[in-house]
Amino acid sequence: MHYDLTDQYHHRSSPIHHLDPRVKVVVTFLYILALSITPEGTWWIFGFFLALILVAVWLTHLGLVFTIRRSFIVLPFLLAAVAVPFTTPGSILLRVPGLGWTVSEPGVVRFVSILIRSWLAVQAAILLTATTRFPDLLWALGAFRFPKPLVSTISFMYRYLFVLVDEALRMMRARAARSAQVPGRSRPSIRWQGRVAGSMVGSLFLRALARSERVYAAMLARGYDGHMRSLIRFRMTNLDWLIFVLAVLFLVTPLILSLR
Amino acid sequence: MWFAPYALHIPDGFLSTAVSTVGWLVALIVIGIAIRLTRHQLGERQIPLMGLLAAFIFAAQAINFPVAAGTSGHLLGGTLAAIVMGPWAATLIMTAVIATQGLLFQDGGLLVMGWNILNMGVFTAFTGYAVYVLMRRLMGEGARSRFVAAFVGAWLSVEVGAIATAFELAASGTSPLSLGLPAMASVHALIGLGEAIITTGAIALLRASRPKVLEAGETAPGRKGASFVVVGLMVALVVAILSPLASGSPDGLEAVAEREGFLNRALDPLFELLPDYSVPFVLNEAVTTILAVVLGTVIVFGVAWAIGRATIRKETVGE
């Protein structure tokens, strides 16, 4: 998995960017939930949900393939589901020559459904972070009564994430600079290398601890009383409500129709 | 350059709705307890300290060392965090890490995040810590016992997280247990070695340079309760895993279970708890299953936790 440590938020002036973050969080979560509830093999619903996400992406002015380009990060995990076509009982589609393995039809349907669900879900999540600033996103979580200390901790983590990652990168660069390899000489043992990595982690921990003391002292000096305050405020406009209701309708209707 | 080391970040779509719901529920209960207990432990410093340490775990996951054939050893960090901060604080730290990875980098899904938090945060922190504390008690106070305890604890914690993941995938019908369990367990037995080596290295550095830090971890809340929480979580996991089987959808685990003949035996107590495995007055079958599962999980976890607390109090009085 490749973390792109540049800002995940992509600023545009689009209707989606201007939506209340609460609407975006709820709709994203409902979208993923709806995908999860959609019965296996109801391809028209999956198609409809794909159309929904494409419309949403088009509205953001980010370019139609924006989410698709980044959605392949779920691919490695597909390995976990790769046995499904072979192990699910059902009518046999084909046999693997030589091995005697059989591919069943319900197995293939389940596998493709899992593939589509995770592919669409990750696109929705990408869209959420690309159109919502992370502090606004956390504010929305707080507004939904997610435990406050947890939300504050995450927002704090976000502030210092890149500082500490920078520190870790510097340490790794320093290690690389001192680890020239002489051709013909054997490499140091794995255990030794592991200990070096462990020492790096340990000293990174001590630095983080020391930094947290400094930060806490600075916060106290500025009047910190155990509560994090934020200037972020959003009000639900009529447009926010309209889009929320529309989105819920679009998500619920096909599911109800599929029950018939 | 940035590699998340573990195939444990489950994306959305790989777990069924019922299984995911249970995961979120148990995770929220555990997080709630963790917040209460760490507030006692850390007071006002809680937020800046937890936030910085969560950022530290995220950054530390990038520090690797070459093993062989292009693979490398990595840290997940649950055990290390638990050893230095106590298991409840580690739960919060790991929750923040996993939430950020899911929300910001889409590494791990949103609907399945409950299980990701449990697998990589709670299970690793508590098994790592319980093993560490237990082995130190058995082997004495020396430096060597500390290293061995950290090594075994870290290795086992990854293994437990991987096994839990295999069970969740099996319960969702994504990967049959007969294949998924050995695959996950064997791959993570190797990955766990990297975790163990780095954790031990970090502990060795801390012992040499700042022994006070390690002592603070040993007086953190959860020292005695750790093993009870482990048991409670395991029971909750078993309930959550077996419950979707009652919904009637045939899947890999059920096939295995029928072959092994443990299905009926395993489900009997559940049926006694919630007759016909459905809450009356709710018509939709999927909704009833989820409700019943949720209720069962809460009850089981609550009972296990209550027993744990009662026992701890008795022990404290006894001292």
Choose among B7, B13, B200: nearest Cβ to A114: B13
For position A182, what pLDDT does the model report?
78
Residue B271 lies in a domain: yes
C-beta atoms of B46 and A87 within 8 A:
no
Residue A92 in 3-state DSSP? Answer: strand
Calpha distance A125→B105 (Å, rounded): 9
pLDDT in tens, B255-266: 444 444 444 444
Residue of B nearest to A125 (CA): B106
Task: Quote the domain boundaries for residue B180.
Answer: 17-318
From chain B, pick out residues whose CB is under 8 angstroms from the CB of A5.
2
Decide if B100 and A157 are in contact by the 8 Å CB cutoff: yes
Question: How close, in Å, is residue A206 to chain B by CA atoms?
Answer: 8
Mean pLDDT within B302-311: 60
B293 lies in a domain?
A: yes
Q: Count how many pairs of residues, chain A against chain B, have C-beta atoms within 8 Å.
A: 294
Checking if the pLDDT of A120 tops 90, the result is yes
Q: Which of A81, A150, A197 sits opposite B201 (nearest CB)?
A: A197
* CB-CB under 8 Å, B73 with A190: yes
Measured between alpha carbons, how far is B287 from B86 in angstroms, rounded to an integer?
A: 38
| Contact across the interface for B68 and A117, Cβ inside 8 Å | no
Contact A190 B197 (CB under 8 A): yes
CA of A212 vs chain B CAs: smallest distance (Å): 5
Q: A84 vs B173: CB contact, 8 Å cut-off? A: yes
Q: Which of A3-12, A171-180, A194-203, B14-23 has the lowest mean pLDDT?
A: A3-12
Q: Does some domain include residue B258?
A: yes
Residue B310 domain-assigned?
yes
> Under an 8 A CB cutoff, do A212 and B173 touch?
no
Residues B59, A161: C-beta atoms closer than 8 Å: yes
Nearest-Cα distance to chain B for A245, in Å, is 21
Identify whether B12 is part of a domain.
no
> Are A125 and B110 a contacting pair at CB < 8 A?
yes
Chain B residues closer than 8 Å to A228 by CB: 47
Give contacts of A117 with chain B, Cβ < 8 Å.
12-13
Residues of A in contact with B56 (CB under 8 A): 164, 204-205, 208
pLDDT for A23: 95
Percent of chain B at pLDDT above 70?
66
- B10: in domain: no
Q: Which residues contact B207 (CB under 8 A, 6 or more apart)?
A: B143, B146, B214
Residue B65: inside a domain, yes or no? yes
What is the distance in angstroms between the Cα of A241 and the nearest Cα belonging to chain B?
Answer: 23
- CB-based contact A153 B12, cutoff 8 Å: no
Domain tally for chain B? 1
Closest residue, chain B, to A75 (C-alpha): B11
pLDDT at B278 over 60: no
pLDDT, tens digit, 9 for 90 and up, residues B41-70: 787 888 899 999 999 999 998 888 877 656
pLDDT at position B309? 59
Q: Is pLDDT larger for residue B159 or for residue B315?
A: B159
Judged against a pLDDT cut of 50, whether residue A61 lies above it is answered with yes
Query: Residue A154: which of B46, B96, B174 has the nearest Cβ?
Result: B96
Q: Is the CB of residue A5 less than 8 Å from the CB of residue B2?
A: yes
CA A73, A107, A255, A49 dihedral sign is positive
pLDDT over 70 at A69, yes or no:
yes
Question: Where does the pLDDT of residue B301 fall: very low under 50, low under 70, confident under 90, or very high at 90 and above?
Answer: low
Q: Is the pLDDT of residue B288 over 60?
A: no
Instruction: Report pLDDT for B224.
Output: 64
Which long-range CB contacts under 8 A does A139-142 form with residues at least 24 apart? A139/A21, A139/A230, A139/A232, A139/A234, A140/A20, A140/A21, A140/A22, A140/A24, A140/A25, A140/A234, A141/A25
Task: Please enumerate in sequence order all residues whose Cβ is within 8 A of that of B113, keeping only pairs 6 or more positions apart, or say none.
Answer: B23, B24, B27, B98, B99, B102
The per-residue pLDDT for B69 is 56
Identify which has the larger pLDDT, B66 or A127. Answer: A127
pLDDT tens per residue, range A130-148 = 999 999 999 999 999 898 8
Complex prediction ipTM: 0.91
pLDDT score of B225: 67
* Higher-pLDDT residue of B251, A34: A34
State the CATH number of the domain containing residue B152: 1.10.1760.20
With respect to residue B161, please indicate whether it lies within any of the assigned structural domains.
yes
B62 and A169 within 8 Å at the Cβ level: the answer is yes
pLDDT digits (tens, 9 = 90+) for A209-230: 999 999 999 999 998 887 778 8
Comparison of pLDDT for A71 and A35, the residue scoring more: A35
DSSP state, A255?
Answer: H
